[in-house]
Structure 1
Amino acid sequence: MSTLVAVDVGGSGLRLLVCRDGVGGPPRSAAGARVGAAGLDVAALAADARALLDAEGVDRPDAVCWSTRGLLFLADPADVLLAVGAALGARRTAVVSDAVASLVGALGEVVPGAVVAAGTGAVAFGSDFDDHWTRVDGWGHVLGDRGSAAWVGMEGLRVALRARDGVDGGSAGLLDAAQDLLGPCETWPRRVMTGADAPEALASVAPLVTAAAASGDVVAAGVCVAAGRSLGESLLAAAAGLERPRLVVTGGLLRADAVRSALDEVVHDAGLDVTRSVGGALDGALVLASRLDATGDLPRHPEYVHVGAPRA
């Protein structure tokens, strides 16, 4: 019996999937990435994953692929590989960037392509899994994540405050909706500048923006169009240099028509098309775990893919 484990760690939660002889069970979840002064708390995440495996009755998996945000910026990949290997005890262990897992999951296989993932944050990634490994954005809600839910939420609050201040370009409807959600606008600066959950708080505003756009709010629609164009530009930048790449998109924000239409327009103007996404990062981690189990290795990259030595 072959037992594969896929793990995807994001800001909103850790998800773990066990697949026994090709049959996957329901995903289990735990708390997401916790970031402190020392970076990502990998030990806590690994302990949570071990507890989920124990609940599944899994002692020693054949292969584990651990997908995580912040692999390069928030942690030392070698430390993540060591902690995951020690906690989960798999015969073979790989640690990959969530950008890699998102690409593989969206494509459904390990083939050349590029993906833009628009969740709370936003990152685009393109690879041929040989010489081309290109990440675009993923800089976080303060410096980047252009077109993400947090970005849309931030822009939504900005145009709401323009309405409060009585200057052009504001949306009174968004001002009312955002105050209903977050409280008086005077409390917003502290919430979005000092709160540990600032990205999530900003992302919670994004549905207000997309709903307002769908209801005819011209200012909100402009925010959505700018988001879609930014995501399209990031996708094309990640794919630049790939020959006949397959382009895919993932993320709940892209269910908003105004965002998706703007993205598609940017891609079409470049003479390319977006194909249907097969799955997400957790699915990609499972594809990679299966390949690791079957072949004993994965295409490696010092920033994006690390594979541990096999255990006896």
Structure 2
Amino acid sequence: MSTLVAVDVGGSGLRLVVRRAGRDGQRRRADGARLRPEGLDVAALAADARLLLDAEGVQRPDALCWSTRGLLFLADPVEVLRAVQGALGAHRTAVVSDAVASLVGALGEVVPGAVVAAGTGTVSFGTDFADHWTRVDGWGHVLGDRGSAAWVGLEGLRAGLRARDRVSRGSPGLLAAGEELLGACESWPRRVMTGADAPETLASVAPLVTAAAERGDPVAAEVCRAAGRALAESLLASAAGLERPRLVGTGGLLAATAVRTALTERLAAAGAAVAGARGGALEGALLLADVLETTGDLPRHPEYVHVAGPRS
């Protein structure tokens, strides 16, 4: 029976799972994506994955799918494929954007659809795995990530500062909650503008905003509604042009009632609906490894999917 390997590389860690004879092993973890001036340190990540495979007693998998953030902006996909293939030695190797793996994992199969992922950042991605490949947002907390946890946290801190400045649309409750979490508001600019962990710091404020919305804070509630609408618009934009796509949403922010309600209402106005995700990027990578082993290939794309070896 085949030995399949899935790897998902994100900011919070590298995750790996091995499937032998149809049975999945334990999820193993290593450090996450490390950045050098020239981009992702792919060699270090591949070396970490090799150690995890050695711990599983796997020398040469039949098929491996490596899902990674930053495939388009932070690394050369061809170099990533070469490094992964060299370090892990699978018979068949695919390297895909985490947007592709997230969509496949969310849908639970390789079919046309679109997914919006509302985590610390936000990206939406839609494809028919043929002619249509569309990514929306994912521009980072300074330029984009509309509707993400970092975006909600930033808007929450702004509302708190407006209360401190005694101008309209301020929230004294968010000011107090923000200072309890992050310290005096005078320290916030340094924390969220110069800190290496600025997106995570901002995202840590998002639960304060969603909780304030649940308690009836009108400013917090509007921030959450704006986030839901932004997520819906990104999802619709990524699905534009697809015929009867399945739409899915993932990410902890969607558990907030105000965010989820606004998302649902905006999609309903466009004649669409969103379903919950069946799995995440690691599950998607495992599904893609299975397809790669079964068919010998994957739908290829120069920005999103690279496969080692000749087409079948």
Please indicate the TM-score interval, normalised by the length of the shorter structure: over 0.9
Determine the structure 1 residue equivalent to 2:153. Answer: 153
Quote the Cα distance in structure 2 between the aligned partners of 1:221 and 1:12.
Answer: 29
Give aligned-pair identity as a percent: 77
Structure 2 counterparts to residues 1-312 of structure 1, below 5 A = 1-309=1-309
Residue 228 to residue 284, structure 1, CA distance change in 2 (3 Å): same
Quote the Cα distance in structure 1 between the aligned partners of 2:210 and 2:72.
Answer: 32
Quote the Cα distance in structure 1 between the aligned partners of 2:81 and 2:300.
Answer: 13
Q: What SS does structure 1 have at the residue aligned with 2:287?
A: helix
Quote the Cα distance in structure 2 between the aligned partners of 1:44 and 1:157.
Answer: 36
Task: Report the Cα offset of residue 216 of structure 1.
Answer: 1.0
| Paired residue type of 1:168 | S
| Paired residue type of 1:208 | L
Q: What SS does structure 1 have at the residue aligned with 2:93?
A: strand
Q: Is the 8 A contact 2:250 2:276 kept in 1?
A: no
Residues 124-164 of structure 1, C-alpha deviation per residue, up to 9 Å, x if partnerless?
11110000101101111111111011111111111111111
Quote the Cα distance in structure 2 between the aligned partners of 1:193 and 1:46.
Answer: 32
Question: Structure 1 residues 84-93 or 27-36, which shifts more?
Answer: 27-36
State the Cα RMSD in Å.
Answer: 1.1
Residue 301 to residue 29, structure 1, CA distance change in 2 (3 Å): same
Quote the Cα distance in structure 2 between the aligned partners of 1:164 and 1:197.
Answer: 25
Give unpaired runs (5+ residues) of structure 1. none
Residues 64-116 of structure 1, C-alpha deviation per residue, up to 9 Å, x if partnerless?
11111110011111111111111111111101011101111111111011110
Q: What SS does structure 2 have at the residue aligned with 1:82?
A: helix
Quote the Cα distance in structure 2 between the aligned partners of 1:53 and 1:191.
Answer: 38
Quote the Cα distance in structure 2 between the aligned partners of 1:52 and 1:5.
Answer: 11
Residues 223-270 of structure 1, C-alpha deviation per residue, up to 9 Å, x if partnerless?
110100000000000110111111111111101111111011111000
Quote the Cα distance in structure 2 between the aligned partners of 1:192 and 1:63.
Answer: 42
Quote the Cα distance in structure 1 between the aligned partners of 2:32 and 2:191.
Answer: 20
| Paired residue type of 1:205 | V
Task: Report the Cα offset of residue 117 of structure 1.
Answer: 0.6
Q: Is the 8 A contact 2:106 2:277 kept in 1?
A: yes
Question: Structure 1 residues 155-164 or 125-134, which shifts more?
Answer: 155-164
Quote the Cα distance in structure 1 between the aligned partners of 2:57 and 2:178.
Answer: 45
Task: Report the Cα offset of residue 191 of structure 1.
Answer: 1.5
| Paired residue type of 1:306 | H
Task: Report the Cα offset of residue 63 of structure 1.
Answer: 1.0
Residues 257-297 of structure 1, C-alpha deviation per residue, up to 9 Å, x if partnerless?
11111011111000111123211111110000000111111
Moved over 3 A (4+): none
Quote the Cα distance in structure 2 between the aligned partners of 1:217 and 1:110.
Answer: 42
Quote the Cα distance in structure 1 between the aligned partners of 2:186 and 2:90.
Answer: 51
Question: Structure 1 residues 159-168 or 104-113, which shifts more?
Answer: 159-168
Quote the Cα distance in structure 1 between the aligned partners of 2:46 and 2:188.
Answer: 34
Task: Report the Cα offset of residue 26 of structure 1.
Answer: 2.1
Quote the Cα distance in structure 1 between the aligned partners of 2:35 and 2:170.
Answer: 34
| Paired residue type of 1:128 | D
Q: What SS does structure 1 have at the residue aligned with 2:126?
A: strand
Question: Structure 1 residues 245-254 or 27-36, which shifts more?
Answer: 27-36
Quote the Cα distance in structure 2 between the aligned partners of 1:122 and 1:172.
Answer: 28
